[in-house]
Amino acid sequence: MGAAVVLTGGLWFATASRPLERPAVAAARGGAPAPNIVLVMTDDQALSQVGPEYMPRVTKLLADHGTTFENAFLTTPLCCPSRAGLLTGQYGHNNGVLTSSYHYLHRKGNVLPAWLHRAGYVTAHVGKFLNRYHQRSQQTAIAPGWDQWYTELDTSQDTYYDWDLSRNGRRIHYGHAPSDYAPRVFEQSAMRLVRRFVPRRKPLYLEVDEIAPHPRLHGEGTRCGPVPDSRDIGKFDDASLPEPPSFNEAEMGDKPPFLRHEPRLTAQDIRRRASRYRCGLASLQEVDRTVGHLYRELQDLGELGRTVFILYTDNGIFFGEHRIGGGKLYPYEEADRTPLYVRLPARYRGARVPQVSQPVANIDLAPTMLALAHARPCNASGRCRVMDGRNLLPLLRGRAPRWAARRPLGVELHLAYSNRKHAACVYAGVRLPGVVFVRHTKIGGPNGGRCVKDVERERYDLARDPYELHNLCFGGGSCPDDAEQRRLQRLLARIHHCSGVPGRDPRPRSGDYCG
């Protein structure tokens, strides 16, 4: 039998009654045309690295004239799985990516840019793509769904200078001149695409995936990890490294054994983290300029009133919290939270909503963009991907749907190997407003390498303990025997295998919706 598509709350799913029909670019709200969408994603940015002091254009243009999501999370705090969540609207246990490799992505052609292209969009990618997309063959091939492809090759290195770009399949090398700085090239490429495709009959989806402020081991002309543009070197040399109560945590007896015995940071360790933090701030200046220039260009073209802007990061990063000197991976607030700003023009929302406090996640971005575009998550043959994320337009329009207040969100990771001893490798967790519960099942071995089995648990009362200083499953062992723990365990078992959302999608094989 053929498949039909049912539209529910701006989203589509397949049934088995009639053939799919490709929709034209439809009105997004009240007869308004489908909007241009500009999405900018940074790489490894801490929540403390946003705000008017550090990213004034983002703050003024997107935060002050858009919506700030105060509780936005990543379902896997690691680059490649996080980006796969954007492409699919799914948790990693459904799209296949829970480690840093594009290879594991299921149904690679049935993804967000392909859906938007079928709905009438020009789709353009600039910057970093999923890890190891090009690495195996070093070819310049364009990923499925993208009409325009200005993508850095071998992004496992996050190279700021002396790097290669695939420009629609043609390899172009950039060297060591200031104009070769990768984020500067990304800006120029994005501006070129806006001038070429806006305004046109077809709306533009432009995704700018930055490499800043991801650290690079050997900077160019500087000892920085994240490499700033030459005009920004030293700009934040006086910035203080944030030292929240979790910084260089004094007492770690409550933590699981694999983390409990991490040594405290030395004065030299702290100086190095402070330097990396400041260099990250400096590297974000070019990202901030890019947002400002794109905004002004669209304003000059008369398209600002029909352009949606989104900015967030693929994962947070540690600067010494819980004695973790760097990286991400661990399911703590520092890695799992993201800044998220959405500027939605008035024609698509009505009155502006300055802040949204309900919990949301990166898997919600694809459903939201599809709702704006009146697109559907289906390929040309009629096969549809069931998304786990929610459409955020009701929240952006000032409504509070029933699912939003107590919605469970999952966090998960699955690594086979670790380059650190006693690191997080495999875990699944669930969070509700005010509480998070995580069950670890594998950790890095005593010498790194292959991960080994080790069951540990963590639960934090975030309402009373926002810095996660007191693990209620003390030492990773027994958790409180209370109704809340039983509820968290039921939710974890459900969300670890969940698919779709009730009222929108067919009942999943597991029987568990994602909420």
- How does pLDDT run across 173-218, given as a tens digit for each residue? 999 999 999 999 999 999 999 999 999 999 999 999 999 999 875 4
pLDDT at 358 over 80: yes
* Helix or strand (DSSP H, E) at 356: strand 355-356
Tens digit of each residue's pLDDT (9 = 90 or more) over 19-35: 332 333 444 445 578 99
* Confidence (pLDDT) at 266: 97
Residue 430 pairs in a beta bridge with 410, 437
**For 265, how many CA atoms within 13 A lie in the half-sphere containing its CB?**
22
Between residues 377 and 15, the one the model is more confident about: 377
Q: What percent of the chain has pLDDT over 70?
A: 91
Regarding beta strands 204-209 and 122-127, do their DSSP bridges make them parallel or antiparallel, or are they unpaired?
A: parallel
Per-residue pLDDT band at 154 (split at 50, 70, 90): confident
Closest by CA to 127, choosing from 207, 194, 196, is 207
* Helix or strand (DSSP H, E) at 299: helix 267-300
Which one-letter amino acid corresponds to residue 446? P
* Helix or strand (DSSP H, E) at 340: strand 340-343
Is-cis flag, bond preceding 367, omega within 30?
no
The rounded mean pLDDT for the chain is 91
C-alpha to C-alpha distance for 142 and 166, rounded to whole angstroms: 8
CATH of the domain spanning 34-403: 3.40.720.10
pLDDT at 16 over 90: no
Give every CB contact of residue 486 below 8 A, 6+ residues apart in sequence. Answer: none
Which one-letter amino acid corresponds to residue 217? L
* Confidence (pLDDT) at 515: 83
Tens digit of each residue's pLDDT (9 = 90 or more) over 435-489: 999 999 999 988 778 999 999 999 999 999 999 999 999 999 999 999 999 999 9
pLDDT at 116 over 50: yes
